């Protein structure tokens, strides 16, 4: 069951900003037949898999800090020779989110 926060619209906006500025993420295609695809390339993390006691929840509840997780590729442990490809694939999307946030 997803955890909806009072800032859900902001979380969705930032996530969609990333997804829409990525070459393929917005299509929401699954990495394989055994994995889910996500509408517009985004999901609420609790809807994907439950996690209790994570830093994102702690920082949000106790410090008011908003964090999102970005899965850069389908491969959890890419080889070193693929890192430049993943950087190029995610560079514009990453910059587009950074331009909409402050620290």
Catalytic residues: 71
> Of 21, 17, 23, 15, which is closest to residue 89 (Cα–Cα)?
23
- Cα of 4 vs its chain's centroid, Å: 16
How far is it, in rounded angstroms, from Cα 5 to Cα 60?
A: 10
CA-based radius of gyration for the chain: 14
Provide the angle, in degrees to the nearest 10, between the axes of the packed helices 83-98 and 8-20: 130
């Amino acid at each position: 069951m997803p955890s909806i926060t009072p800032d859900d619209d902001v979380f969705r906006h930032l996530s969609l900003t990333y997804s829409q500025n990525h070459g393929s993420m917005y299509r929401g295609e699954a990495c394989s037949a055994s994995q889910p695809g996500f509408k517009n390339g985004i999901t609420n993390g609790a809807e994907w898999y439950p996690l209790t006691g994570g830093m994102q929840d702690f920082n949000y509840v106790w410090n008011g800090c908003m964090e999102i997780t970005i899965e850069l590729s389908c491969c959890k442990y890419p080889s070193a020779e693929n890192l430049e490809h993943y950087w190029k694939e995610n560079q514009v999307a990453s910059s587009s989110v950074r331009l909409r946030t402050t620290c």
